[in-house]
Amino acid sequence: MALTQVSSNKCAGGFQKVFEHDSTELKCKMKFAVFLPPKAETGKCPVFYWLSGLTCTEQNFITKAGSQLAAAEHGIIIVAPDTSPRGCSIEGEDETWDFGTGAGFYVDATQDPWKTNYRMYSYVTEELPKLINSNFPTDPDRMSISGHSMGGHGALICALKNPGKYKAVSAFAPICNPMQCPWGQKAFSGYLGPDRSAWEAYDATVLAGSYSGPQLDILIDQGRDDQFLSASQLLPDNLISVCSEKKIPVVFRLQPGYDHSYFFIYSFMNDHIKHHAKYLNA
């Protein structure tokens, strides 16, 4: 599959690049960012996938998270895709900030008019890794996943739905129980329809309750002053309770004074990359 390089910048001894390609899953042109550490010039590297939150593109993470120095140190390739299809000319796709463009929610939509293009789950778990592994010096057996907010939800469900596929998972302020919060209910109703049983396939709290794969050590950071925590959009306690019952190891860190922004992500990014490196480089 042909890739078009959009940009390339020397960074942390490696290169921060952005590419565009025609997606077969999403039926549109998609961009993704990839950081290639110095080690990628001489050998294969593990891959850390980052899923961004509502309204974001591939640019937010690479310009604000400060991930490149730690990724260079640990020899990890970082891939950050966009958050939704774009320019699909679907009626209503640009009406609100939390549904449609910039808000793919990492599900495979089943409802018209979204089901043709809005297949971010399959894009992230199948199409994109194949594309990355065929074009960059990766070790396909060593990949992990992380994300923020809507992307934290995406990272958790990808790991829980695919036991053993990802060596590690972490999240910043994830939407942990979307079936029970306004953001999730809006997105799932639109993309998946009114049958709530169909929503369970994309809810981390529900998925954790039935998880039976290899041990998955989860790291979650949450800002205590996050406005969306107080607005009951994120609901981390629900996930932690289920993981405790199922004996799924979770390190949950409630960080005093931090909000939902990339200033929060930047502050703890190194910890997350170290968490992933422990499993990716084992």
For the chain, first and last CA: distance in Å? 31
Query: For the CA atoms of 191, 100, 81, 133, what is the dihedral angle to 10 degrees?
Result: 40
Say whether 149 is catalytic.
Answer: yes
Residue of 52, 149, 170, 276 with catalytic role: 149
Q: What contacts 188, CB < 8 A, 6 or more positions away?
A: 105, 107, 178, 179, 196, 198, 199, 202
CA angle 160, 164, 166 (to 5 degrees): 75
Say whether 260 is catalytic.
Answer: yes
Strands 28-36 and 77-81 come out as antiparallel
> Pick from 36, 278, 27: which is nearest to 170 by CA?
278
> Pick from 275, 239, 269: which is nearest to 255 by CA?
269
In angstroms, what is the C-alpha Rg of the chain? 17
Helix (H, G, I), strand (E, B) or coil at 70: helix
Say whether 21 is catalytic.
Answer: no
Residue of 108, 203, 221, 226 with catalytic role: 226
The residues annotated as belonging to the active site are: 149, 226, 260
